Amino acid sequence: MMDSKSDRQHHPRLSALDILKYIGPGFLVTVGFIDPGNWASNIAAGSTYGYSLLWMVTLSTFMLIVLQHNAAHLGIVTGQCLSEAATAYMNPLLKNIILLSAVAASISTAMAEILGGAIALNMLFHIPLKISALLILVVVVFLVLTNSYKRIERIIIGFVSLIGLSFIFEIALVHINWPIAAISWFKPSFPSNAMPIIMSVLGAVVMPHNLFLHSEIIQSRQWNLEDDEVIKKQLNYEFLDTLFSMSVGWAINSAMILLAAATFYMNGQVVTDLSQAQTMLKPLLGNAASVVFALALLFAGLSSSVTAGMASGSIFAGIFAEPYDVADSHSRMGVLIALIPATVIILFITSPFQGLIYSQMLLSIQLPITIFTLIYLTSSKKVMGKYANSPREKALLWAIGLTVTVLDVALFITSL
């Protein structure tokens, strides 16, 4: 359970160890950056174009750091999450449209995350996909509704660590052309027919539910909102947490492309499906590699499903001007509104791949709404006071917002 607002505003004991104590909220955002949808895009990129699209990971991570940092600033300065701030400072009708669309996007996100976990269970134990989805739902609901935020944070850090270790194991089994990879991380390349993959990675890496979630969970580290020195130190610590966590996400996403490039691309095999990737790894790298791949996907599906549920709880509670508190009925309702309909949709879809496509289409519609709502609130002196975005920060945020919007609109059009 998140601490109450009054509990958040106690005086801190600031020391060098506080930097380590701050590591955590960013990891809950990172799992949205390494969710099953990203797996599919990254493996398709590596298997089709080798190392040449690694620059996508670098650019998308930069955009993610800026936007998530901005969302966390809102939570630190105001003591409100993005949903609460929209309720407090925006026209009631407009904020309801924005927040209800964000809840719908959370359902779409949860569907993709639960589906990814279900695919992993099917890979590992050959459990039918629909039964696997129900099992993932039960585990995720249990984790979200019976654990405090601190326990959830530790679980997510554990999952992300296991995913990272899994890819270190996989990378150690293959030969990577590191000089080419180093250049590709920073040199933009546009191979023939690569735009759909470029758009899917760059346009979908920033997810609306993560902007809401980060503005809420950063308050688990909240102290005295009246003390400027405390706020400044919190902002600095938050940036270190965001930078470190997003860098871990950058490394894991890069590892997916590196693995796909060194195995599938070098053998002339294009991968378009996660199950196909696991099957093809077995003869190339052995049974252990394929099992580790499926386990890492399972951890990614579970952890991202947990954060999707928490984000929906935060958004729904914010509609009623309340902070996320899993003991509160509105927060619990928000969690279930995302997870249960998402699983029901999976039970009725005939093509998992098409389900992922439609979920990304819905996200591409809602994401610009969330981004520009965030920019509006964090640029307002009424909301942020002297911590409102500077002209330079606003220019950067608008540039990123417009870039993500164009990519998402293009992705939506190509998906029709």
Q: Nearest CA to 20 among 220, 237, 239, 230?
A: 237
**What is the model's pLDDT at position 2?**
46
Closest alpha carbon to 48 in 271, 275, 284, 280? 271
Mean pLDDT of the 69-76 span: 92
Type of residue at 349: I
Q: How far apart are CA 357 and CA 169, in angstroms?
A: 30
What is the pLDDT, as a whole number, of residue 199? 78
Judged against a pLDDT cut of 80, whether residue 54 lies above it is answered with yes
pLDDT of residue 5: 44
Placement of tokens 């407090």 in the chain = 88
Digit-coded pLDDT (tens) for 219-275: 765 554 566 777 777 777 788 888 888 899 899 999 999 999 999 998 888 887 777
Quick one: pLDDT at residue 279? Answer: 78
Q: How far apart are CA 8 and CA 2, in angstroms?
A: 9
Q: Does residue 192 or residue 358 have the better pLDDT? A: 192
Mean pLDDT of 170-189: 93
Which CATH number is associated with domain 5-415? 1.20.1740.10
Amino acid at 136: I
Band of residue 392 on the pLDDT scale cut at 50, 70, 90: very high
State percent of the chain over pLDDT 70: 88
Task: Please tell me the pTM assigned to this model.
Answer: 0.86
- Residue 10: the pLDDT is 41
Distance CA 351, CA 207 (A): 23
- Distance between CA atoms of 258 and 260, rounded to whole angstroms? 6
What's the pLDDT at 4?
Answer: 44
Domain boundaries, the chain: 5-415
Give how far the C-alpha of residue 25 lies from the chain's centroid of Cα atoms, to the nearest Å: 12
* Count of residues making up the chain: 416
Range with the poorest average pLDDT among 42-56, 75-89, 267-281? 267-281
For the stretch 289-336, pLDDT in tens is 888 989 999 999 999 999 999 999 999 999 999 999 888 999 999 999
pLDDT at 6: 43
Average pLDDT over residues 110-138: 93
For residues 244 and 18, give the distance between their C-alpha atoms in angstroms, rounded to a whole number. Answer: 14
Tell whether the model's pLDDT for residue 16 goes beyond 50: no
Which residues 6+ apart lie within 8 Å of 413 measured at CB? none
Q: Which residue has the higher pLDDT, 413 or 73?
A: 73
Higher pLDDT, 277 or 140: 140
| SS3 call for 190 | coil
Spell out the residues 6+ positions from residue 308 whose beta carbon is closer than 8 angstroms to its own: 32, 106, 109, 110, 113, 209, 338, 339, 342
d(CA 97, CA 317): 15
